[in-house]
């Protein structure tokens, strides 16, 4: 049995974002219940030199939408990274899920050997479609989703492994 590039990308990213929605929802409820200013959580960091929760979400969503777009050979929509409230972060995640759901397998399957170049501050990085997904997108996406989870867990939000993994 083989797996297609579409199956390894869009559904995986969509599920991760849906799980992030659940985690953010629990954080929002936690802030309301404990009467915590929500910006305390959205601005929280694990360490002073790390990005805050809201940036973790911005990057996770950018990584997901950029992946599908690059593999399909289309321009990704630009998000301005202005979301700071839980409601705005929820909307951004949902907007990304909705965007991912516009892709069909035939747009992505077959792009395993497609040349993809990322322009980084340190210079361009060259990938094939498959190496882009497996060695850059998925590790980067899950790093930021995990860091968002860790920030909230560290700040007392009652979330667990099943929230991160999501339902079956």
Predicted local distance difference test score (pLDDT) of residue 94? 98
- List the structure tokens of 103: 């892709």
List pLDDT tens digits, range 73-132. 999 999 999 999 999 999 999 999 999 999 999 999 999 999 999 999 999 999 999 999
List pLDDT tens digits, range 24-66. 999 999 999 999 999 999 999 999 999 999 999 999 999 999 9
User: pLDDT over 70 for what percent of the chain?
Assistant: 99
User: What's the mean pLDDT in 142-153?
Assistant: 98
- CB-CB contact of 66 with 76 (8 Å): yes
Residue with tokens 């950029």: 66
- Measured in degrees and rounded to the nearest 5, phi and psi for residue 125 equal -120, 130
Which DSSP category does 35 fall into? T
Predicted local distance difference test score (pLDDT) of residue 167? 75
User: Which residue segments constitute the domains of the chain, with CATH numbers given?
Assistant: 5-165 (1.20.120.450)
Predicted local distance difference test score (pLDDT) of residue 136? 97
- Cα 68 to Cα 13, 55, 60, 116, 130: the distances in Å are 9, 20, 13, 12, 12
Per-residue pLDDT band for 1 (boundaries 50, 70, 90) equals confident
| pTM given for the model | 0.96
CA distance 106 to 103: 8
Identify the bridge partners of residue 119 per DSSP, sorted by sequence position: 124
Predicted local distance difference test score (pLDDT) of residue 118? 92
Return the SS3 of 23.
helix
Predicted local distance difference test score (pLDDT) of residue 168? 62
User: What's the mean pLDDT in 145-149?
Assistant: 98
CA distance 168 to 158: 20
């Amino acid at each position: 049995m083989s797996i297609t590039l579409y199956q390894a990308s869009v559904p995986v990213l969509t599920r991760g974002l849906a799980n992030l929605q659940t985690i953010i929802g629990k954080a929002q409820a936690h802030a309301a219940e404990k009467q915590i200013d929500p910006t305390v959580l959205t601005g929280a960091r694990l360490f002073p030199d790390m990005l805050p929760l809201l940036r973790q979400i911005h990057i996770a969503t950018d990584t997901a939408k950029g992946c599908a777009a690059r593999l399909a050979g289309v321009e990704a929509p630009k998000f301005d990274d202005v979301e700071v409230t839980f409601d705005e972060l929820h909307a951004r995640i949902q907007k990304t899920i909705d965007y991912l759901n516009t892709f069909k397998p035939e747009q992505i399957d077959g792009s395993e050997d497609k040349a993809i170049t990322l322009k980084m501050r340190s210079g361009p990085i060259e990938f094939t479609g498959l190496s882009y997904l497996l060695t850059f997108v998925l590790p980067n996406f899950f790093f930021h989703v995990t860091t968002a989870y860790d920030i909230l867990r560290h700040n007392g939000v009652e979330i667990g492994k099943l929230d991160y993994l999501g339902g079956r």
